[in-house]
Amino acid sequence: MYSPGSLRRFERKTFGKGAMAPWTFFAVSLFGALLTLNAYVAQRRTGPLVIPSFLLGWLVGELPLHTLGLQLIGTVVFVANGALASAPGLWGLGLSLLSWVALGLLVSQARKAAPILEASLVAGLGEDYRSEITAELNDSLDRVSPPPGLALNPFRLNRPEVIRHSDIPYVPGGGKRNQLDVYAPRAGTENAPVLLQIHGGGWTIGNKHEQALPLMNFMAAQGWVCVAANYRLSPKNTFPDHLVDAKRAIAWIRREIAHYGGNPDFIAVTGGSAGGHLSAMVGLTANDPEYQPGFEDVDTRVQAAVPFYGVYDFSNHFDLQPADTLRSWVGKSVLKRNPETEMAEFKRASPAHRLHAEAPPFFVIHGTNDSLACIEEARHFAQSLARVSNNPVAYGELPGTQHAFEVFHSIRASAAVVAAGRFLTWSLSRELQKSAEGD
């Protein structure tokens, strides 16, 4: 039996001042190491863990140096409060050291994005594609500084040389879900190429001012006019309402964009996630009257498409998705159809089943660690489109990259923005050359 005095001494030793610091430090270090591990091995099949795995892997994977800085600060605080006084604290320090090395390797991995994307452009467009861009447009590419790969505040996205015109209705009486923003050079422009951005959010959430801001500001700084459009959302609305609205935005561009300095005869489209799906559908369903009710005579062709981390097959016909949850969720919330009895509608709403020879040039960009839109499907879509299209298809596959990786400034985001800018500028040069030959 312990005496009362020995029990009090044990109590002070175990629970006294600083006694819990080693264990707390160990727990925090373990959590930080798991966050780093998740950035390497994202969850794709584990149901409820998919969303938190995406969110945490997205932030850590794109901001490894910020994460490292926070972990270093936390370690200093714990050490100053006696965290290394016993074995658990030393274990925690070991875990932290491993996490820091792994975070440094994430930076090295991210730096590979630029050469990978350049190689994908060369593979899709040809080794001499840069020489096919006019000298003036090449000068513009070189003149405008790319988005910062490393920034203390990665969420500071505006450029002083770009002005935004906000909340412009593109459907009379359509409300906030039928408004768009225009990003244009502050100094003014005329007859500039146009880029339409379609936001993501699972067809159920999202807003025009939340995504692709690094890309739109970069292109507007080069003299482009960029349009970011809201659209009606599910479950209140049912597909193809989302696609119809994207085409209505194109119809507005045809009518009105000259007032903002844009050229309605050159429109490219981009978007991420659900916006990747919709931008691909826009590119593949030009002038389809089914998706242009009341404005069937409007030309909704686009001259280039750059879908980021999109969903390309609602039907999962090729059995490429790691889990079958997407098809049932889309059926319930977006299409309002039963996949068991109405599979044809799932295919009709899928870019992977709308391929044809007259598709515009595509640049498909996707990350291998994407938890929300599977890489296998993007790879299959790009390969299949390249086999049937008369126009070039480039495909950029980024190792270790999560969903939504280019929403804020990061090393990969900067590389993707520059690569997309080169593709879009090449597409513009190609159209200018066609026009010159036609004259």
Mind telling me the catalytic residues? 273, 370, 403
Query: Do 92 and 25 meet the contact criterion of CB atoms below 8 Å apart?
Result: yes
Label residue 168 exposed, middle or buried (CB < 10 Å: 0-12, 13-18, 19+). Answer: middle
Query: Do 208 and 245 meet the contact criterion of CB atoms below 8 Å apart?
Result: no
**Using the 8-state DSSP alphabet, how is residue 148 labeled?**
P
Give the C-alpha separation, 401 to 418, whole Å: 17
Alpha-helical (H) ranges within 303-374 are 325-330, 343-348
Strand partners, 307: 271
Give the rounded distance of the alpha carbon of 339 from its chain centre: 28
Neighbouring residues of 391: CB distance < 8 A, sequence distance ≥ 6: 358, 359, 360, 361, 362
Give the C-alpha separation, 116 to 276, whole Å: 20
Sign of the dihedral defined by the CA atoms of residues 425, 429, 434, 439, in that order: positive
Q: Which amino acid would we find at residue 330?
A: V
Give the C-alpha separation, 245 to 170, whole Å: 9
Label residue 123 exposed, middle or buried (CB < 10 Å: 0-12, 13-18, 19+). Answer: middle
Give the C-alpha separation, 312 to 244, whole Å: 18
Give the C-alpha separation, 216 to 197, whole Å: 8
Query: Do 183 and 216 meet the contact criterion of CB atoms below 8 Å apart?
Result: yes
